[in-house]
Amino acid sequence: MQPADFRDFVNKIAREVGFPSEHIILGGDHLGPNCWQGEPAAEAMEKSVDLIKATSPRASAKSISMPPCPALTIRTAGPGHRRRTCRSPVPGRGRDGNRRTETPSDLCHRHEVPVPGGEASTIGSVHVTRAQDAAATLETHEAAFRKLGLNAALGALIAIVVQPGVEFDHTQIIHYQPEAAKALSAWIEGTPMVYEAHSTDYQSRQAYRALVRDHYAILKVGPALTFALREAIFALAQMENELVAPESRSR
């Protein structure tokens, strides 16, 4: 499935359930060269650029005669990669919220870059990003962009990805502790951006409210969205094990 196909897939579901498509924001995550680690760096980077172009609203609008998604958030890793991919402008919005035709889509800088797919082993503890480290990440990327004249890309920056101290693995959930991230939450108030937090699955209602209050406006949730479905499937599989002969079970 290509990015434009996914957009149409989501919009089709929205129409079927009567959900306004203008309330949908599609994002491209881990669009860097991670999946081409076995190839030469230059080739992997070119494929990454092609992937981002395919994910952009302009590319989607060209390939399928249907309006692009209302907003597209592109998240990539590393200043070098961002410089390379932002050379090809795609339509987006700037920090003032106005739509522009020659600026990149909404961008999120990553300070913390989790492994695609999340934690695969038990975690002992989670560090909270230091405010000075987040500031250094932003300064480094902005300097690199300005050096290459990519000021339009800076105007499209809406968020920075940090670790506020939330995580989960296959055995436990580490809940958000506002006091531990107090300095980090205060630092972002001096910028026009918000935070993105990853692995926010299974947080309590109080934790979600606290995260939003502390400027984590983009909360990434993955497995939690399908948890009930997986529970049901596992339960049915267990019922088969108890009631159905091995040769007659589903595969």
Q: Per residue, what are the HEC states of 59-89? A: HHHHHCCCCCCCEEEEECCCHHHHHHHCCCC
Q: Give the pLDDT confidence of 161-212 residue by residue, as tens digits.
A: 999 999 988 788 999 999 999 999 999 999 999 999 988 989 999 999 999 9
Q: State the Cα–Cα distance between residues 91 and 71, nearest whole angstrom.
A: 9
pTM: 0.69
Beta strands, E only, the chain: 25-28, 71-75, 92-93, 99-100, 106-110, 157-162, 167-168, 173-174, 194-197, 216-219
Q: State the Cα–Cα distance between residues 194 and 60, nearest whole angstrom.
A: 27
- 168 & 200 share domain: yes
Q: State the Cα–Cα distance between residues 210 and 179, nearest whole angstrom.
A: 11
Above pLDDT 70, what percent of the chain? 75
Q: Which residue in 154, 130, 74 sits closest to 106, CA to CA? A: 74
- 95 & 158 share domain: yes
Greater model confidence, 125 or 83: 125
- 147 & 232 share domain: no
- 215 & 236 share domain: no
Q: Is the dihedral of CA 225, 25, 11, 53 positive or negative?
A: negative
Instruction: Give the model's confidence band at 120: pLDDT under 50 very low, under 70 low, under 90 confident, else very high.
Output: low
Averaged pLDDT for residues 149-164: 87
What's the domain range around 247? 225-251
- 214 & 237 share domain: no
- 170 & 246 share domain: no
- 166 & 251 share domain: no
- CATH code of the domain covering residue 23: 3.20.20.70
Pair of tokens at residue 241: 């094990």
Contact 220, 196 (CB under 8 A): yes
Domain count for the chain: 2
Averaged pLDDT for residues 78-93: 48
Q: Give the pLDDT confidence of 43-79 residue by residue, as tens digits.
A: 988 898 888 888 876 443 322 222 333 344 444 445 5
Q: Is the dihedral of CA 83, 84, 90, 92 positive or negative?
A: negative
Pair of tokens at residue 9: 């897939």
Residue 64, φ and ψ in degrees, nearest 5: -135, 135
- 160 & 250 share domain: no
- 27 & 133 share domain: yes
Greater model confidence, 241 or 95: 241
Q: What is the DSSP string of 112-172?
A: S-PPTT---S-----PPPPHHHHHHHHHHHHHHHHHTT-HHHHHTEEEEEE--S-EE-SS-
212 in helix, strand or coil?
A: helix
Instruction: Give the model's confidence band at 118: pLDDT under 50 very low, under 70 low, under 90 confident, else very high.
Output: low
- 159 & 240 share domain: no
Report the range out of 9-18, 67-76, 89-98 with the highest average pLDDT: 9-18
